[in-house]
Amino acid sequence: MDRMNEYAGKLETLDIAGMRGEDFLLTWDKTDDELAAVFTVADALRSLRERNLSARVFDSGLGVSIFRDNSTRTRFSFASACNLLGLAVQDLDEGKSQISHGETLRETANMISFMADVIGIRDDMYIGKGHAYQKEVSDAVKDGHERGILEQRPMVLNLQCDIDHPTQTLADLHHLIRHFGGVDRLRGKKVAMSWAYSPSYGKPLSVPQGVIGLFTRFGMDVTLAYPDGYEVMSSVEMTARENAARSGGSFRRTHSMEEAFAGADIVYPKSWAPFDAMQKRTELYGRGDAEGIRLLEKELLGHNASHRDWECTEEKMRTTRDGNALYLHCLPADISGVSCAAGEVAASVFDRYRVPLYRQASCKPYVIAAMIFLSKVTDPSEALRNLEKRGAARNRL
């Protein structure tokens, strides 16, 4: 009970009234207190799970997932989070819906929301489309609730868009907090968010953008490294610079992976597609130009191939702080000699960090559950205390 009182007491010191009934779309739209609340509730829910106690705050209800791109970790993390809180889960398969018969997005959003408490959406492949799609769903269910069609308004949760990947980057940051022993210990840590070679093209920009847009809020020294021509959104870079100025951290760019890794405490080598190329891909997609997309893919694969030396190797890892930087990846990584001939990371590096990587991934279900909890629960502090007081065993084996 003391542990849960500590979590509940922490929440009571935070200004989080603005989270009630609201969506979670971009991390930089949330206050420092609101992010602190996500980590606090995630820790509380993990504590209940570790002690085999039920964290169910819903007696019924639905979590709806819409994945417009492939997913393993985020898909199962969302389902796990909903189930942890007591919600059933239903995935919208657009190919099996009436969307193909002309059903509008506004209509679809309301039809799937009659008893839904959360709609999780991944739409990350087309610049200018994913975040806009999530906002349109949000506007549709808000209107449905205001008109009395929906008894409750489901929150919309960004499971990755073209701009940000908040469930991933908040899970990453939560992992760092747990690894280093507290959020205050992140201040001054040097982070290398680096592009890395991949034999595939078109990977979203939302992970590197989410990392630089979030980690700079915590006094960290963040370096974004990429080959010339692999720029991310300038607006997100501006957000990172502003965050660093406020937090006392720093943000800079380099075209050298070696420079970024030198003395780093944390490395995050991850492939992404150039922003300009992703914009062009979106334009070709809008015109239905399949041949243009094929030619663009061929061109980009050629560009990638000229940067095979952008690999997280043992040699580069030895240049990090004490040769022992924490390696992060959102997974799946392109592992040289394992999942591909040459890729983002050497097999020996990946194998050495496999357990920490799995710990990193394990934070995501709790972060997602915390986002839902803080939007849908009337009094989060009291709810945590009641879960502890109830002490219902999750199972009796």
Q: For the segment 316-341, what is each residue's pLDDT rounded down to a tens digit?
A: 999 999 999 999 999 999 999 999 99
3 pLDDT above the threshold of 90? no
**135 and 270 fall within a common domain:** no
Q: How many domains does the chain have?
A: 2
256 pLDDT above the threshold of 70? yes
**pLDDT-based confidence at residue 67 (cuts at 50, 70, 90):** very high
Residue 87 lies in a domain: yes
Residue 26 lies in a domain: yes
SS3 state of residue 321? helix
Kindly provide the residue ranges of all beta strands, DSSP E only, lying in 255-337, ordered along the sequence: 266-269, 326-327, 335-336
Query: Look-up: residue for tokens 């952008």?
Result: 310
The answer to whether 223 touches 260, Cβ cutoff 8 Å, is yes
Give me the percent of the chain exceeding a pLDDT of 70: 99
pLDDT at site 43: 98
pLDDT at site 165: 98
Query: Whole-prediction pTM value?
Result: 0.96
pLDDT at site 2: 82
Of 270, 307, 86, which Cα lies nearest the Cα of 169? 270
Query: Look-up: residue for tokens 């991949």?
Result: 198
pLDDT at site 102: 75
**9 and 71 fall within a common domain:** yes
* d(C-alpha 36, C-alpha 32), whole Å: 6
Provide φ and ψ at 117, rounded to 5°: -110, -20
130 pLDDT above the threshold of 80? yes
**345 and 379 fall within a common domain:** no
Residue 397 lies in a domain: no
**pLDDT-based confidence at residue 98 (cuts at 50, 70, 90):** confident
Residue 395 lies in a domain: no
Consecutive H or E run containing 193: strand 190-194
**264 and 326 fall within a common domain:** yes
pLDDT at site 394: 85
pLDDT at site 13: 98
397 pLDDT above the threshold of 60? no
101 pLDDT above the threshold of 80? no
Higher pLDDT, 44 or 95: 44
**172 and 309 fall within a common domain:** yes
As beta bridge partners, residue 122 has 67
pLDDT at site 99: 74
pLDDT at site 94: 82
Question: String of b and e for 363-374 (b: at least 16 CB within 10 Å)?
Answer: bbbbbbbbbbbb
Q: What is the mean pLDDT of the chain?
A: 96
What is the mean predicted confidence (pLDDT) over 273-292? Answer: 93
100 pLDDT above the threshold of 70? no
Integer-rounded Cα Rg, in Å, for the chain is: 21
Provide φ and ψ at 146, rounded to 5°: -65, -30
145 pLDDT above the threshold of 70? yes
**152 and 171 fall within a common domain:** no
**103: CATH:** 3.40.50.1370
pLDDT at site 1: 63
* d(C-alpha 336, C-alpha 345), whole Å: 6
Query: Look-up: residue for tokens 């097999």?
Result: 347
**Domain range enclosing 334:** 167-359
